[in-house]
Amino acid sequence: MSNVLGTVNPVETITAMAHRVGAAVLVDGAQAIRHQRWNLEQSEIDFFCCSGHKMMAPTGTGILYVRPERWNQMEPAILGGGMVERVFPEYVTFAPMPHRLEAGTPNIGGILALARAADYLEELGLEELFRYEGELTARLENILSELPGVHVLGSPEERVGVVSVTAEKATAADLAAMMDKYGVALRAGSQCAQPLLRSMGLSGVLRFSTAFYNTEAELEQVGQAMDNCLTHLRRWSQ
């Protein structure tokens, strides 16, 4: 899933195409982990990673899934305690997976919190969250697209989680700064996706994200606040 456009990519189709030419597939699921259920054991994906802070867990935590058929190909990138089996002056043998990839003292508190965050989301009801957030995202897209001079980026068949926009006569940075005053936290800039933005002829966009703790009333407030900010900034950008 694109962190800029919210586009849901056909991962299984891409994976099958990659495998036909002998390529391995790593899916960066940092965005998608909160918006769809993944059954990796039944998938053909080779590697899947995601970050904990996108799923209500502390920063600095994350998950790397490695398909069992790939385990023997994994070489440690970081050396340290707990990941070796036997050490000799001339050579070392590594512990079995996953320990060989987990050198040193783990982030025990963070990992426990990550597991609790996953349980928390399950307890809320993932399918219900996905449905509700989908409604919010669609409503948000409508609200933003109705603002004069605001352009919603992309028109994917399926958009989840985020809506990015550009606005005439107002930069993303200015809008984010002003919207912050209204209590709306937005991300302005390249969204860590410079090649994508460059291909669209853009250098910065304003990204809105919805989550289960948002309400439709809040989305209406966002639309009103955006309208105020645009009016104000455009007065000065003449």
Partner 1 sequence: MRGTIAQEQEEFIQAFNAIDDWLLQYDFLLALYADLPLLPEKLRTDDRLVPGCVSRLWLDCRLEQGRVRLSLAADALISGAIAGVIVRLLDDRTPAEILESRLDVLTATPLGEELSADRFRGMEQVIARILAFAGQQISSSFS
Residues with catalytic roles: 192
CA–CA distances in Å: residue 66 to residues 52, 53, 97, 124, 137: 17, 20, 9, 27, 31
Q: How far apart are CA 219 and CA 225, in angstroms?
A: 10
Q: How far apart are CA 45 and CA 70, in angstroms?
A: 11
Interaction between residue 57 and partner 1 (CB under 8 A):
no
Minimum distance between the CB of residue 200 and partner 1, rounded to whole angstroms?
Answer: 17
Instruction: Name 120's Cβ contacts closer than 8 Å, sequence gap at least 6.
Output: 56
Number of helices (H), then strands (E), belonging to the chain: the values are 6, 9
Give the residue, chosen from 174, 206, 208, 226, that forms a contact with partner 1 under the rule CB under 8 A.
174
Interaction between residue 233 and partner 1 (CB under 8 A):
yes
Interaction between residue 198 and partner 1 (CB under 8 A):
no
The stretch near partner 1 (CB under 8 A) out of 72-80, 114-122, 156-164, 228-236 is 228-236
Give the residue, chosen from 55, 188, 193, 196, that forms a contact with partner 1 under the rule CB under 8 A.
188
Interaction between residue 226 and partner 1 (CB under 8 A):
no
Q: Beta-carbon neighbour count of residue 204 at 10 Å?
A: 15
Cα–Cα–Cα angle for 205, 208, 210, nearest 5°? 160
Minimum distance between the CB of residue 63 and partner 1, rounded to whole angstroms?
Answer: 27
Interaction between residue 116 and partner 1 (CB under 8 A):
no
The binding site for partner 1 (CB under 8 A) comprises: 171-174, 177-178, 181, 188-189, 203-204, 232-233, 236-237
